[in-house]
Amino acid sequence: MRDLTNNPTKFAIETTNLTKKYGDLVAVDKLSLTIDYGEVFGLLGPNGAGKTTIISMLCTITNPTSGTATVNGFNILKQSANVRRSIGIVFQDPSIDDRLTGRENLQLHACLYDIPTELTRRRVAEVLNLVGLEDRADDPMRTYSGGMRRRLELARGLLHSPKVLFLDEPTLGLDPQTREHLWTYIENLSRSSEITIILTTHYMEEADRLCSRVAIIDYGKIKVVDTPANLKAALKGDVITVTTAQPEKLATRLTELKLTTYIDASKDTLRLTVSNAEKLIPRLIKITAEIGVEVSSVSVHHPTLNDVFLYYTGHEIRTEEAESLFRKYMMIGRPTR
Amino acid sequence: MSEFKKIYGLWRREVTRYWREKSRIISSLIMPVLWLLVFGGGMRGMELSGTQSYQTFIFPGIVAMTLLFTSVWSGISVIWDREFGFWKEIMVAPVSRTSIVIGKALGSGTSALIQGSIMLPLAFLVGVHLSPLSFIILIPTMILISIGLVCIGLLIASIINSMEAFNFIMSLVIMPMFFTSGALFPLTSAPGWLKSFSHVNPLTYGVDALRWATFSQASSPLPIQVEFLILVLFAAAMIVACSYAFSLKK
C-alpha cells in the first residue's frame, strides 16, 4: 500500500460549491463544508435529502454537476484513484457476495486494494476480531443475519486501513441490540485510531451519540453545522407542550408578554420554546387562570437533536399547514441564518 | 504488478462461485448433451459432403454452444451483482475498469473452459478421435472464444438493467449467434443471406477454429491463421469496448 499520509491539506474533507443535478432536480445544492481529521461527522437529514449523493460524489462513484471537493487532500475529479485508495466505505445497501464466505469477501477486498499478501492474513484477523466474527468467518455469507453482514461490511471497509471511512446509514433496518453493538464498534474505532468518519443517518440518537459535529441537510442544502451540544443549546432552552382547547388565546397572550422565543400551535396543543421550563410553569399556570383558558395537560421536554432538526427544517415539513391561523406565531424568535 | 493482483482477485471470485454451484455445472450440461446425442443421433442419416457422420460433424459446434451459453450468461450475471449490491464494492475500489473486465472475462472464461472440457470426453461416444495434440490446441482456443463471448454478456449487462430481458437476450442474441455460426450445418451450402450473417458472427470463426483443432481441418475457405487473428482482435476489441462501457459514470 502506498503511504497516503503525506499530504499538505489540513482537512480530511473540503467541498467547494459541490452540486449535483438530475435533470431539474437539484439533489445537492452548492455544498461547501470542511471536515477535520479525526472527526466523526454526521450528515443528518430525511430520506431524499441528498446525503447518499454527497457520499457518492466524495467516493468518486458519481461526478458532480459543478463544484469540487478534496478527500484526504486528493481532488475527487483529478485524483480519483488516490481518493479511492485512502477511503473505506460501508454502503447503505448490502454490497457483499453472499455466495462467498466472510473471509473470502475480505480476501477479495485485500486483492482489490493491493494489500501485501504477508499483511493480508494479519489484517483480516484483526478486523474480524474487531467486529466479533472470527467464529463465522468461514461460513458462506448467505447464512449470516442482517446484523452480521453489516458488521462484516464494516470490517471490510476498515481492512485497508483507510484514512477516511464513509458509513452510509450504517444501522438502517437493524434491531436495537445490533444497532447498539455497531455503535460501540464505531465509538471504539474513533477513540482508538486517527480515522475520520463521515456517517449519514436519519436517526437522531445515532447522530447525537456518535458525532463530534453534525450537518443538518434538507433538500440538498446544509441548514446548520455544529456540535450536537451546541445545536441543542442554540434552541435556547426547553420545550413546554400545553394541551388546551384555546391555544390561540393563550398564544396571543404569551406573545404579548414576550415569555417565549418560539411558539408553534396546532388544533389543541401549543409548543413553547423557553429558556427554563421548570421556572416558567408556575407563571404559565397563573396566566392561563387570568385569561380563563382551561389547560388539560402540561409537559416539559428538554431538547434533543430531533427538536433541532424540526427547528431547522420545520417550515418545509409543514407547508401543508401554512394556511393555519397560527402561522404568524411560528416565525417568532427564529434566528436568521 | 498490482493490477495483476486485482485481476487475480476477481478471477478467483468467479471461479470460486462457479465451482461452488455443482448443480448448475451439471444442469448446464444437459442441453449440449441433448443436442449431441438426441438431435445428432436423430440426424445421423443426413448426408454430408465429407466422410464424417453428422454427429461427428456437430461435435465441435456443440462445444462452442457450451462456451456460448456459459460465457454470455456469466457476463450478464453482472446484472445480478448490481442488483444484490456487490458490484458497488468493485466499482468503488481503486481498480482500473480494464482490469475489472479482464478479471471477469478470465474468470468466466475459466468456468466456460471447465464446462467445455467436461464435454470433450463425449467425443469418443460420437466417434471423434481426439489426439493429445488436439487437446492441447483446444484449450487455448476455448479460452480465446470465451473471452470475447463473456464481453458480449458484459456489454449487454451494461445496457440493460434487469433480468426481465431474459427471453429477449435469448432469442435476439444467443440463439441467432448459435444458429448462424455453422455449429449445426456446414455453411458452404447455406443460402447467401445466411452466409452474410455468419460472416459477421464472431462465433462462426470460433466454431471453425474448434473444428480445425478437433479434425485438423477447417470447413471455412479462410486460412486458419486469419480465423485466429479475427478471434484475437474480436476479444481485444470487446475488452476495450467493455472497459469504456463500465467507465461511464451516471
Residue B249 touches partner A, C-beta closer than 8 Å:
yes
Cβ contacts of B3 within 8 Å, gap of 6 or more: B95, B96, B99
Q: Which residues of A are less than 8 Å from B17 in CB distance?
A: 97, 99-100
Picking from A60, A97, A113, the nearest residue to B13 by CB comes out as A97
**CA A225 from centre of chain:** 11
Straight-line distance from the first to the last Cα atom of chain B, in angstroms, rounded to the nearest whole number:
30
pLDDT surpasses 70 at B25: yes
Contact B127, B56 (CB under 8 A): yes
pLDDT one-digit tens code per residue, B153-186:
999 888 887 777 777 887 888 999 999 998 888 8
pLDDT one-digit tens code per residue, A116-163:
999 999 999 999 998 889 999 999 999 999 889 999 999 999 999 999
SS3 content of chain B, % helix, strand, coil (to 5): 80, 0, 20
Picking from B81, B84, B93, the nearest residue to A113 by CB comes out as B93
Reading phi first (left if > 0) and then psi (alpha if -120 to 50, else beta), residue A151 is in alpha
**C-alpha cell at position B153:** 454478456
Q: Which of B77, B86, B99 to mutate to test the interface with A (most CBs of A within 10 A)?
A: B86
Q: Which residues of A are less than 8 Å from B91 in CB distance?
A: 61
How many CB atoms are located within 10 Å of the residue A160 CB? 23
pLDDT surpasses 60 at B64: yes
B residues 14-43 lying closer than 8 A (beta carbon) to A: 16-17, 20-21
Residue showing cell 454427429: B55
Please judge whether B84 and A94 are an interchain contact, meaning their C-beta atoms are less than 8 angstroms apart: yes
Amino acid (1-letter code) at residue A277: A
SS3 content of chain A, % helix, strand, coil (to 5): 40, 25, 35
Query: If interface means Cβ-Cβ distance under 8 Å, which residues of chain A face chain B?
Result: 59-63, 81, 84-85, 89, 91, 93-100, 104, 107-114, 156
Which residue in B has a C-alpha nearest to residue A20's C-alpha? B250
Q: Which pLDDT score, from 0 to 100, does residue A316 have?
A: 37
pLDDT one-digit tens code per residue, B96-153:
999 999 999 999 989 988 988 888 888 888 888 888 888 888 888 999 999 999 999 9
pLDDT surpasses 80 at B84: yes
d(CA A233, CA A227): 10
Picking from B87, B95, B249, the nearest residue to A112 by CB comes out as B95
Residue with the bigger pLDDT between A315 and A115: it is A115
How far off is chain B from A313, nearest CA to CA, in Å? Answer: 29
Cβ contacts of A185 within 8 Å, gap of 6 or more: A130, A131, A151, A154
Please judge whether B13 and A59 are an interchain contact, meaning their C-beta atoms are less than 8 angstroms apart: no
* Bridge partners, residue A273, by sequence: A239, A262
Identify the CA nearest to A147 among candidates A186, A169, A174: A174
Residue showing cell 478470465: B106
Q: Which residues of A are less than 8 Å from B13 in CB distance?
A: 97, 100, 104, 108
Identify the CA nearest to A121 among candidates A136, A131, A106: A106
What value of ipTM does the predicted structure carry? 0.86
Which residue in B has a C-alpha nearest to residue A90's C-alpha? B89
Instruction: Give start and end residues of each alpha helix (H) in chain A.
Output: 51-58, 80-86, 102-112, 117-130, 146-158, 176-192, 204-210, 228-234, 247-257, 277-291, 305-317, 327-330
